[in-house]
A and B are shown apart, each in its own frame.
Chain A
């Protein structure tokens, strides 16, 4: 599941997104980047890491960093309960887990359903957004998870994600 596939999916007519909650806000990301969904488990802390990097966990032998976007973007409250969910993503040939408040649904969107993102008003910088979509009553914020995860802002990877093991 590399960036090419993701890109192609972006351009396909109909795309599937996994929607999730951060606090009260409704977000969605390209389902092709999702590796799996798990419950939150104890992490091993990493020294000198920013607070939104919770630490690393063992995902069947891979050491995977866990990021709490709620802390990074100050949405909702960073609480960890038995219902706290971690979405394991496969982006840029890496595995990264993000903590969310809940996963709601898989939604199908046509290209014309997606509106351009607003310049302001959401927690994320608009460069990390694909657009907005309305689903029944709600507004869903479509996140370009790949550009977000590999962004310098998160500083997850050395050298702009170019170094691989």
Chain B
């Protein structure tokens, strides 16, 4: 009789989270002087969806909050109240509260009932203050029955929110649907006997606790199946808005004019679902309904939720395929004779196909930067109002795609940098005016792809970094600095631990933890950060990231018979040094180039390889830059640039000093990927750090 509702919880949480994010974004974008009714609608729908879902699962705190939020929004979209900044503020606050509450439910933690009550009462107070004589709903405090009735009353006056309780009252369903052009119905389906027997359902509010698809009935509840079968088709028509509990059905955003959304509670049934919807559309006299349900049906099949684990294993397998393919082409190129030509053609075809497969599989892991960027309007808004600065956030390149794993890890560093720009970068309004700058400060958040890396920039038109202050602070902290240091080196100092030049510690920044963490976090995902700044004009933080975590761009180098891969991001240039450039310091060789002395790390020595070229002037020196050091890496020769798939050494073996991982070359051999950071550490061990030389 009963079905396990737990299985739907995860989906509900995921979706509610999306709805909340959507709501927040829409709230931020809302133009208060002339609110777009579609936007208000979609905010309303998001609140409505959460309310519906939480109602089903008995998450009362969510239901209570969203309910009153919904009432407020409903008035806003009916133009009975005007959206103002305080309202948006309160709504944003409420979304935050909802997020917290949602997380609490998800983690099965205690709900902060006091916060919820406070949130509800705040909304209520606002509602009351906005109250006009016609609306009687202000006294509602979350009692569902009452509210629904009220909403239905409203609906009579042109805009109805039907809660489809349509189990046993198909005629109601029809009524609701007929005099309605903007209806939000609910197709719930739960253990229905209780609800079905509730007398109040006979009122003109219906909660369709059965979903619209007739075929689902047997699975849900045998006891009610008879009713359901009878009522399902009309219910189907009457349900205008759906809660896709399964991804195929869920595209609330795709068609904003589309108020018809399906409630697909069962993944297996997208087809009948879509079909039944179409049927309903045919019966439906209204043209737009027919249009929207067709649109809906086509949208439903366009997205599918897949476990990331499956994608990851696919990515791994494709990696294998690429390796096998390159082995094959190597073998074929060694084969003589005429059949070889055909073979080579076939392999060329295979190469193209594998590359395409690889690209499309990789793209499955990619998400647009929107996912990270979308939170920043809020961050900037909150922070600028807190600091009393006027800041305009410009987001560019939100469509740039980046690996999913990186998206998550970028949030903290980016948040920090943006906060930093607003707190330290952008001047106070009066200072800006005094300097003849625009009153409104601008922070640009930009993502772009350049070659095989993604560059994310945080640009502000504020004061820029203060060279003197950084240098003074560095000296104070006992760092070895030079007044003639190039700007780029000075800027790097701010990434040192415990470095903050803020004159006062605020709760926003100034504690000196942060920039070093930013750098560490970025390095953990294979990125690096560069600063450009000019005093009085602003500064720009540029983050360079690899396209994905699974693949690294590297230069293959040879040492005797072995091959190593040096990550491209660390390489400045490669040179064949002239003997005159080689200097000696206590028997250690230094390379004098680019007006600097570079300590030399001999890779053959580090990797204990015999038979390598030991004389630098006959070998190649790669100038390598790690996060804190620069050195020259002595190798025998360069073999070319290549993208390599990173394999873990630790999976079957253990960590090896100086080695970040391994990869498999075209000939099936294993090549080690060098870990420049740990190689750099050995430079210090020899007392050859750059600082000591300068």
Using a CB–CB distance below 8 Å, which chain A residues touch chain B? Answer: 42-49, 55-58, 60-65, 94-96, 155-158, 163-165
Kindly identify which residue among A45, A48, A156 contacts B653, using a CB–CB cutoff of 8 Å.
Answer: A156
Cβ contact within 8 Å between A63 and B320: no
* Apart from A47-B658, A65-B653, A157-B653: 13 A-B pairs, beta carbons within 8 A: A44-B671, A44-B672, A56-B649, A58-B323, A58-B669, A61-B320, A61-B323, A63-B648, A63-B662, A95-B652, A158-B655, A163-B654, A165-B648
Contacts of B415 in A (CB 8 A): none
Interface centre among B653, B669, B672 (most CB of A within 10 A): B653
Using a CB–CB distance below 8 Å, which chain B residues touch chain A? Answer: 316, 319-320, 323, 562, 606-609, 647-659, 662, 664, 668-672
Cβ contact within 8 Å between B652 and A65: yes
Cβ contact within 8 Å between A61 and B319: yes
Min CB distance, A91 to chain B, in Å? 10
Q: Are A63 and B608 also in contact (CB < 8 A) when A45-B562, A48-B657, A58-B668 are? A: no
Contacts of B671 in A (CB 8 A): 44
7 A/B residue pairs, CB under 8 Å, sorted by A:
A44-B671, A45-B562, A60-B320, A61-B664, A65-B653, A95-B652, A155-B654
Kindly identify which residue among B606, B609, B651, B655 contacts A45, using a CB–CB cutoff of 8 Å.
Answer: B609
Give Cα A8–Cα B670 distance, bound, in whole angstroms: 36
Kindly identify which residue among B609, B652, B672 contacts A94, using a CB–CB cutoff of 8 Å.
Answer: B652
Min CB distance, A67 to chain B, in Å? 10
Give Cα A44–Cα B671 distance, bound, in whole angstroms: 7
Min CB distance, A157 to chain B, in Å? 6
Contacts of A60 in B (CB 8 A): 320
Cβ contact within 8 Å between B651 and A57: no
Kindly identify which residue among B606, B651, B662 contacts A44, using a CB–CB cutoff of 8 Å.
Answer: B662
Q: Are A47 and B657 also in contact (CB < 8 A) when A158-B650, A163-B650, A165-B648 are? A: yes
Q: Are A61 and B670 also in contact (CB < 8 A) when A47-B608, A157-B654, A165-B651 are? A: no
Cβ contact within 8 Å between A158 and B654: yes
Cβ contact within 8 Å between B670 and A63: yes
**Which 7 A-B pairs give the minimum distances between C-beta atoms?**
A44-B670, A47-B607, A65-B653, A158-B654, A61-B320, A63-B662, A165-B651
Min CB distance, B402 to chain A, in Å? 24
Give Cα A94–Cα B650 distance, bound, in whole angstroms: 10
Contacts of A61 in B (CB 8 A): 316, 319-320, 323, 647, 664
Contacts of A48 in B (CB 8 A): 608, 656-657
Give Cα A165–Cα B650 distance, bound, in whole angstroms: 5
Kindly identify which residue among B323, B606, B609, B670 contacts A56, using a CB–CB cutoff of 8 Å.
Answer: B670
Cβ contact within 8 Å between A63 and B651: yes
Contacts of B562 in A (CB 8 A): 44-45
Cβ contact within 8 Å between A56 and B651: no
Give Cα A55–Cα B323 distance, bound, in whole angstroms: 20
Give Cα A65–Cα B671 distance, bound, in whole angstroms: 13
List the B residue with the shortest CB-CB distance to A42. Answer: B669
Interface centre among B655, B656, B670 (most CB of A within 10 A): B670
Give Cα A60–Cα B323 distance, bound, in whole angstroms: 9
Contacts of B609 in A (CB 8 A): 45, 47
Min CB distance, B455 to chain A, in Å? 30
Contacts of A96 in B (CB 8 A): 652
Give Cα A22–Cα B671 distance, bound, in whole angstroms: 29
Q: Are A164 and B651 also in contact (CB < 8 A) when A44-B562, A48-B608 are? A: yes
Give Cα A49–Cα B659 distance, bound, in whole angstroms: 12
Kindly identify which residue among B606, B654, B655, B664 contacts A47, using a CB–CB cutoff of 8 Å.
Answer: B606
Cβ contact within 8 Å between A56 and B654: no
Contacts of A43 in B (CB 8 A): 670
Cβ contact within 8 Å between B669 and A47: no
Cβ contact within 8 Å between B648 and A156: no
Give Cα A48–Cα B658 distance, bound, in whole angstroms: 10
Cβ contact within 8 Å between A58 and B664: yes
Give Cα A61–Cα B318 distance, bound, in whole angstroms: 11
Cβ contact within 8 Å between B320 and A94: no
Min CB distance, B284 to chain A, in Å? 55
Min CB distance, A136 to chain B, in Å? 36
Give Cα A96–Cα B652 distance, bound, in whole angstroms: 7
Cβ contact within 8 Å between B652 and A44: no
Contacts of A95 in B (CB 8 A): 652
